[in-house]
Amino acid sequence: MQNDFQLLASDQHSKARRGRLKTAHGVIDTPAFMPVGTQGSVKGVSPRELRELNAQIVLGNTYHLFVRPGLDIIKHFGGLHNFMSWDGPILTDSGGYQIFSLVKLRKITEEGVEFQNHIDGARAFISPEIAMEIQAALGSDIAMVLDECVPYPCEYDYAAKSAELTARWAKRCRQWKEENAERPTPNAQRPTEESEISNQQSAIDCQLFFGIIQGGTFDDLRKQSAQQIVDLNFDGYAIGGVSVGEPEEEMMRAVESAEPFLPADRPRYAMGLGTPPQMLEMVARGMDMFDCVLPTRLARNGTAFTAAGTLNLKNAEFAADKRPIEENCVCHPCREFTRGYIRHLIKAEEILGLRLITLHNLHFYLNLMSQARAEIERGTFDQFRKTFVGEYKTRNAMVE
């Protein structure tokens, strides 16, 4: 495996780290937030707007893109970067979480996962090897191993068996990478053009490869999983199976249990997290990379993020409010539009309203990580975290 991660600074009062990860499509400064582009698109936002927001990397999803539009189409356009007109880094999740959510439509065996896709019910099968082939065809900069994500709550025995299965799958993914680093493998979808073979081979050679730690909410299973996955020597390590309905303290414990076993010279990715305070708490616990659907999902419900907490702009109190979403925010929506106008757009079901909130929310998340990086460099991160978390108030995002 490659080592393209450089640790630049550490916080003296916490485990917060400032780092830099090199990928085939650019450098990622960490801590970093990755906007979620499950279907090859961050909802409501163009790649140009993402660049203007200083997004460094976006996330795509293996399962969804495999089901629709399918690998033949994405290969026809020369890979996912060309298909979605994004020239920066892309991380692709292997699909383990999505398959977890299809609990009534799938069957997990040692070989892999057989499932009915959620679009037309057609049967499909993904093994660790096929998950790797799909991600090579997509041409992502960072590929994730196939894992099994257990629900919450979960019995100890099931979580233990699942973590062992994830470790065996990770080993198979690792073997696939080693076997195919210097030659193309056409098993997932057989390339017919030499250029397609060359593009896929280049993706395999350049792709960074992250292992995923599981173990539910059980400290000993998290520790054991971390040790097993680290022994396989990946380019980075992810904490999976969090933010699946467990209490926040259990989420924090899952990370705290695994973190001491993660090598300091590799990036750490807390999958599917989280609220702004959660991200800062995870940074303080040594995590480097995050993804979360909240900035875009809550925007579609009229909810905006601010340093003081969330605002539901559907509420009548904002009808005549001439202030921006957040005072002193430099994002385009805050420079040009009022809360009252955005509320009108949301109530009138005008698409511009949800787009403006989405742009603001993404700016807020990306800027929060930029602030975190600066505070770590200055040696003031711990106080910044405590102040932010203390002043942040979470309100009911769905209140009318």
* CA-to-CA dists, residue 88 to 139, 141, 332, 366, angstroms: 12, 9, 22, 15
- Active-site residue among 11, 147, 235, 291? 291
Q: Per the omega criterion (within 30 degrees of 0), is the bond before 69 cis?
A: yes
Active site residue 291: yes
Q: Answer whether 69's CB lies under 8 Å from 137's CB.
A: no
Set 11, 93, 141, 288: catalytic member: 93
- Strands of 17-23's sheet, edge to edge? 5-10, 17-23, 26-30
Alpha helices in the chain (DSSP H): 47-52, 62-67, 71-76, 80-84, 96-101, 128-138, 156-180, 194-206, 219-231, 248-258, 276-284, 294-299, 332-336, 339-347, 351-378, 381-391
Q: Give Cα separations from 177 to 38, 77, 197 (angstroms).
A: 24, 24, 16
CB 13, CB 282: distance < 8 Å: no
CA distance 76 to 64: 17
Cβ-proximal residues to 357 (8 Å cutoff; 6+ apart), any chain: 299, 302, 303, 304, 313, 325, 333, 342, 346
Distance CA 331, CA 368 (A): 13
Give the separation between CA 94 and CA 147, rounded to whole angstroms. Answer: 8
> Among all residues, which ones are annotated catalytic?
93, 291
